[in-house]
Amino acid sequence: MGASVPDHFEQMWADLEPIGKGSHDGGYYRQPFRNAERELAAWFVEQARARDLRLETDPFGNQIAWWDVGDVGPPLPGVVTGSHLDSVLDGGAYDGPLGVVSGLAAVDRLRERGFRPARPIGVSVFVEEEGSRFGLACLGSRLATGAIGWDEARALRDPFGVRLDEAMTGVGLEPDDRKPWLDASRVDCFVELHVEQGRALVDLGHAVGVASRIWPHGRYRFEIAGEPNHAGTTRMEDRRDPMLTFAMTALAANKQARVAGQRATFGRVDSRPNSTNSVPSSVTAWMDARCETDEALSELVATIIRQAEERAGRDGTTLAVTPESVSGAVDFDPDLAWRIAVDHEAGDWPILPTQAGHDAGILSAQGIPSAMLFVRNPTGVSHSPAEHAEMPDCLAGVDALAETLRRLAS
């Protein structure tokens, strides 16, 4: 893999397609600091070198490949694009890698057209965006911008008990708590291209759109403790069953989110001792909640917790809820979004919100002007092997990103 000359978009996509792909259903397993994700990071290095881009890697494994102005380092804050290469468990091919491949291809487009940027252009890769291994979404961009400190993050553990610092040093990184790697003095603006995680562009009949805002969202750990016992000999009325409390909590979350027109999902559950013929001693479950406003998120989560506590009281179980990560609403700079969206040959691109979290949201919250481009997803399915974008739409996204970088780096 890799070449002495830059690969075009279709070849880069073909190179990435088999990496980390499961054999049973075609889903992707690109976990941070494990083989498939490290192979992708090495691929990015090869592609950067093939383009003579100057590569920077921070202590946590985040990377930026710079197209510099002249023969020296960036004299001005740069325009940065990019995304991530990790995936959720059993995820799709497009969430993350599409933005990285499109960034490299957009640089190629600009060079082919003879464009000379007035400020550096960077293509970035952020690690552990999904939070699928260490539980905190956008961890790489949080560390890169100082949104979270290393002393706080280093002790995060994956489901197998491996600490974040152990995982990083195990692949040759040397994490430390130096000052933030990225801030407004280095990055003039950040533009992330991403496959749309919804069907708005299908309904609007556009291949490309621009983000207006990111809904606030959070991850919450529900720990429910009961009394372990025999599944056959313990009368139903004598049980203190945490699984029953969890089941009713999951139903309550579904109902409350539907009533409010918001989102609440229990997608991960750990039962102990996880035995078929035992009443569990404990159930730990993780809830993802997303709402239109910060106030709506707080209200939804509070309502679900209250109903869970009431159910625990009836079941004779105990409940503890811990917010593992909560991100407030992110409103992207409307002037920047408008500047990107208007006055194209095919007309203005639509501006729309997203319910998914992204590295662009972290950078925006840390004071770096940020924007997002979306590429049409014909089914709207994401975080699934069925995630998809048609090649003509992907190439339209590359052209849109190249045009955006041209406007911002002129």
Domain range for 92 = 9-215+329-409
pLDDT tens-place string over residues 251-310:
999 999 999 999 999 999 999 999 999 999 999 999 999 999 999 999 999 999 999 999
Among the candidates 304, 327, 350, a domain finishes at: 327
- Are residues 183 and 261 part of one domain? no
Q: Nearest Cα to 211, choosing from 223, 194, 226?
A: 194
pLDDT, residue 75, reads 66
Confidence of residue 318 (pLDDT cuts 50, 70, 90): very high
- Are residues 279 and 348 part of one domain? no
Q: What is the CATH number of the domain that holds 387?
A: 3.40.630.10
Is pLDDT of 74 > 90? no
Residue 1 lies in a domain: no
Task: Confirm if 103 and 143 have CB atoms less than 8 A apart.
Answer: no
pTM metric for this prediction: 0.87
Q: What are residue 269's DSSP bridge partners?
A: 285
Range of lowest pLDDT (51-60, 81-90, 312-321, 342-351):
342-351
pLDDT, residue 4, reads 60
Confidence of residue 14 (pLDDT cuts 50, 70, 90): very high
Is pLDDT of 355 > 60? yes
Residue 230 lies in a domain: yes
Residue-averaged pLDDT of the chain = 94
Rama region for 128: left / alpha / beta (φ>0; ψ in -120 to 50; rest): left
pLDDT, residue 405, reads 97
- Are residues 169 and 80 part of one domain? yes
- Are residues 319 and 335 part of one domain? no
- Are residues 43 and 116 part of one domain? yes
- Are residues 239 and 172 part of one domain? no
pLDDT, residue 2, reads 47
Q: How far is CA 299 from CA 97, 230, 260, 294, 305, in A?
A: 35, 38, 10, 9, 10
Please name the residues in contact with 209: beta carbons below 8 A apart, sequence gap of 6 or more.
196, 200, 201, 349, 350, 351, 352, 373, 374, 376
Among the candidates 292, 327, 362, a domain finishes at: 327
Tally of domains within the chain? 2
> From CA 385, how far away is CA 25, in angstroms rounded?
7
pLDDT, residue 23, reads 77
Among the candidates 278, 294, 327, a domain finishes at: 327
Count Cβ atoms below 10 Å from residue 133 Cβ, excluding itself: 25
Residue 270 lies in a domain: yes
What's the mean pLDDT in 10-14?
Answer: 96
- Are residues 345 and 208 part of one domain? yes
3-class secondary structure, 392: helix
Is pLDDT of 73 > 60? no
